[in-house]
Every structure is written in structure tokens, then in C-alpha cells.
Amino acid sequence: MQQNHKKWEQQILICNLHSNLKQR
């Protein structure tokens, strides 16, 4: 279950990164 949570965190991080790039 913890591994799944890590995957989620990574996905959120990537989403945040993409959002930041789009905002620029």
C-alpha cells in the first residue's frame, strides 16, 4: 500500500511540474 502512495505522490509531483511549466 505504501508503494502505491509513493506512485501517487510522484504523479502529483509531475502534474505540479507540468502546471508550473504551463503557467510560465
Whole-prediction pTM: 0.58
pLDDT score at 23 = 86
Residue 8 corresponds to which cell in the numbers above? 501517487
Instruction: Determine the pLDDT at residue 7.
Output: 95
* Residue whose cell numbers read 504551463: 22
In this prediction, residue 3 carries a pLDDT of: 87
Grid coordinates of 2: 505504501
Q: What are 5-16's pLDDT values in tens digits?
A: 899 999 999 999
For cell 507540468, the residue is 18
Distances (CA, A) of 5 to 2, 8, 9, 22: 5, 5, 6, 26
* Residue-wise DSSP of 1-24: -HHHHHHHHHHHHHHHHHHHHHH-
The answer, yes or no, to whether residue 22 has pLDDT greater than 80, is yes
Q: How far is CA 21 from the centre of its chain?
A: 13
| Residue of 23 and 14 predicted with greater confidence | 14
